[in-house]
């Protein structure tokens, strides 16, 4: 029986990737205007993402707050193109987070799936800065557990075990739903619970998840069938 569904947040419940790219572009437009010239123009969305990923790899295991990782990546980007302006990285951060909050949207299948899971306990386990309240769905979840608060993130199973202990649910009655094979499926398997890989683009050819679905619309029937 499944009594608890744990959800990843970014790119599972809402379109983080799309909002991130839109926010980076809006932020860069402001930077290009403030610093016209080839140096600033060389900072593109893809380059900003690459720098952020490099910084995240460097800080892995030491920094849980992804907002800190993002701000450090802005500082690194400015250094790479030779823009020395005190406080500018923080200004870019404020701009980015403001734009990102504006652009982020729930996926179309999120609310119908949550409605159809009425009667099942729900919680979020996220490595990101999950803001379910701003998107109007915080009250759908019994708890929102973030890596920055726990001090460890997926794929480390400790965050899953923390959630199960806090919610007092045995491993056999829980399932984790997420879009990442490494972070979500990996954490679930290591913690001894079942997993559902959300493959919205139909690109997965092999997975160690217990189930693979293309839409959250498939989840309620799956959970009920597992009972």
pLDDT in tens, 47-65: 999 999 999 999 988 888 9
Cis peptide before 155 (omega within 30 of 0): yes
- What is the end-to-end Cα distance of the chain in Å, rounded? 4
Instruction: Identify the pLDDT of residue 80.
Output: 95
Instruction: Identify the pLDDT of residue 209.
Output: 98
pLDDT at 227 over 70: no
Q: Calculate what percentage of the chain has a pLDDT beyond 90.
A: 93
Instruction: Identify the pLDDT of residue 131.
Output: 86
Instruction: Identify the pLDDT of residue 63.
Output: 87
Residues facing residue 67 across a β-bridge: none
- Dump pLDDT digits (tens) for 1-47: 899 999 999 999 999 999 999 999 999 999 999 999 888 999 999 99
Instruction: Identify the pLDDT of residue 88.
Output: 97
Instruction: Identify the pLDDT of residue 64.
Output: 87
> Predicted confidence band at 161 (pLDDT cuts at 50, 70, 90)?
very high
Q: Calculate what percentage of the chain has a pLDDT beyond 70.
A: 100
Interatomic CA distance for residues 24 and 202, integer angstroms: 26
C-alpha 132: how far from chain center? 11
Residues facing residue 197 across a β-bridge: 178, 212
Instruction: Identify the pLDDT of residue 27.
Output: 98
- Dump pLDDT digits (tens) for 121-134: 999 999 998 789 99
Instruction: Identify the pLDDT of residue 130.
Output: 76
76-to-2, 59, 93, 99, 176 alpha-carbon distances in Å: 45, 13, 12, 20, 35
Q: Which residue has the tokens 């559902």?
A: 196
- pTM, two decimals, is 0.93
Q: Please report which residue ranges of 81-218 form alpha helices under DSSP H.
A: 88-103, 110-116, 147-150, 158-167, 186-191
Tokens for 41, please give them.
């123009």
pLDDT at 226 over 90: no
* Average pLDDT score, the chain: 95
């Amino acid at each position: 029986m499944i009594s608890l569904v744990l959800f990843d947040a970014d790119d599972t419940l809402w379109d983080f990737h799309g909002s991130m790219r839109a926010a980076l572009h809006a932020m860069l437009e402001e930077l290009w205007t403030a610093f016209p010239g080839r140096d600033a123009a060389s900072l593109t969305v893809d380059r900003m993402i690459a720098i952020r990923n490099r910084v995240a790899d460097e800080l892995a295991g030491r920094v849980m707050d992804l907002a800190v990782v993002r701000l450090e990546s802005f500082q690194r980007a400015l250094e790479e193109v030779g823009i020395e302006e005190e406080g500018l990285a923080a200004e870019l951060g404020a701009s980015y987070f403001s734009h990102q909050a504006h652009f982020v949207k729930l996926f179309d299948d999120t609310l119908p799936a949550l409605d159809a899971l009425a009667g099942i306990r729900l919680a979020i386990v996220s490595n990101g800065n999950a803001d379910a309240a701003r998107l109007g769905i915080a009250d759908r979840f019994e708890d929102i557990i973030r890596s920055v608060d726990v001090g460890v993130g997926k794929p480390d199973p400790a965050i899953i075990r923390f959630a199960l202990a806090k919610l007092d649910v045995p491993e056999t009655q829980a399932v984790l739903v997420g879009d990442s094979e490494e972070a979500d499926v990996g954490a679930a398997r290591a913690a001894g619970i079942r997993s559902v890989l959300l493959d919205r683009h139909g690109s997965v050819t092999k997975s160690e998840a217990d189930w693979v679905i293309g839409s959250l619309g498939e989840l309620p029937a799956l959970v009920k069938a597992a009972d």
